[in-house]
Amino acid sequence: MAGVSQISCKLFIALVAIKLCTIAAFNVVDFGAIGDGKTDSTSSFLKAWNAACNSIVPDATMVVPPGIFLVRYITFTGPCKSNNTELFIFGTIIAPDDYKFIGSDQFWIVFYRVNWLSIYGGTLDAKGSSLWACKSAGNDCPFGARSITFQSCSYVLVSGLKSINSQRIHISINQCSNMTLRKLVIIAPSRSPNTDGIHIESSTGITISNSSIGTGDDCISIGPGSKSLLMDQIACGPGHGISIGSLGRTAIEDGVQDVNVTNSIFTMTQNGVRVKSFPTASDGYAKNLLFKNLIMQNASNPMIIDQDYCPHGTCSQKNSAVKVSQVTFENITGTSWTRKAFTLRCSSTSPCDGIQLKDIDLHY
């Protein structure tokens, strides 16, 4: 089998090489980037992107070759002229050692209004440990940056990307549609603060599959306005599990609906699958949720619906108005680290409705 894998890998590399030779490929090195891990290549990356994005050739491609490329805050803006813009990353993109360079911007790499985009491979290293240490010491620190953000994008494929040590959220998706993320590897220590693997908000038609996510916060978090989401074959852990919410932050809020989490494993996570809302007056909601074919391996709280979520104990109200309905937990097996396999904490003013448990087999 190892020989087959090596042959398949070599064949893939050969096919990619042939493809890059037959299309308009814009290599960041040709625009001045130096992969020595020290030279600031931000402007070179931006020039290469602009050349690829403004090319009228189909499948115009930006290439990051093997090497370590230092990049500060950067925004790749669309829409592009090509009907499918591609980004092949063979090397590693790193943030500056001084966390303030991207931490003060709150973003590191941003794709804005880019449609029909495909990103393949590569590693992002945001070097977040120094910022985590600053926060742990109680010092005056910047908010921190999200490693890669997709804002107002559509028809995007991200395949084979690895993100490590983000200052905060690794991958942020906001006001996007029709995105597929697959074969991702996301890594941060279990005690790193707010390092969600993937955060989705105000987006529709997002699929995440065949990915490994281990962080200090939610493996995947789903915010208001998110609809038609599929998370399949996710290996989550360490982290806080997969969460819908927190909802109910504002009085007027878009709802969450049609979310499926299937065929996934949670290993030593603080939670498994969770729906949470603040005890506030809000018109938000969460409905048509399916959690199916999940394995818990010593997850502390495998299944949670919590309409009284108040982590800091400063909530003024006691009952959430966020309506939670039509939620199914089906074929969930394995072990719970605590005696609370299922927590159902619903609001008396807006009670849960249509909650179903089928084929649950969890052991303490």
pLDDT digit string, tens, across residues 17-57: 445 444 679 999 999 999 999 999 999 999 999 999 999 98
Kindly report the three-state secondary structure assignment for every residue of 48-103. HHHHHHCCCCCCCEEEECCCEEECCCEEEECCCCCCCEEEEECCEEECCCCCHHHH
Chain centroid to Cα 264, Å, comes to 16
pLDDT at 316: 65
| pLDDT (tens digit per residue) in 156-178 | 999 999 999 999 999 999 999 99
Lowest mean pLDDT among 19-23, 43-47, 94-98, 115-119: 19-23
**What pLDDT band is residue 6 in, cutting at 50, 70 and 90?**
very low
Q: Which two tokens mark 17?
A: 């090489």
How do the domains of the chain map onto residue ranges? 65-362
50, HSE (Cβ side, Cα atoms, 13 Å):
9
Question: Strand, coil or helix: what is 2?
Answer: helix
pLDDT band at 318 (very low <50, low <70, confident <90, very high): low
Positions marked catalytic: 217, 240
Which pair of tokens denotes residue 302?
């495998």
14: confidence class by pLDDT, cuts 50, 70, 90 = very low
Average pLDDT, the chain: 92
- Confidence band of 89 (pLDDT split at 50, 70, 90): very high
Class for the domain spanning 65-362: mainly beta
pLDDT of residue 1 exceeding 50, the answer is no
Task: Name the strands in the sheet holding 242-247, side by side, starting at the edge strand that comes first in the sequence.
Answer: 74-77, 107-112, 146-151, 171-174, 198-201, 220-222, 242-247, 273-277, 303-306, 342-345
The kind and range of the H/E element at 311 are none
- Closest to 74 in 3D by CA, of 56, 95, 55: 95
Sign of the four-CA dihedral 269, 270, 272, 273 = negative
pLDDT of residue 258: 98
SS3 helix, strand, coil % of the chain, rounded to 5?
15, 45, 40
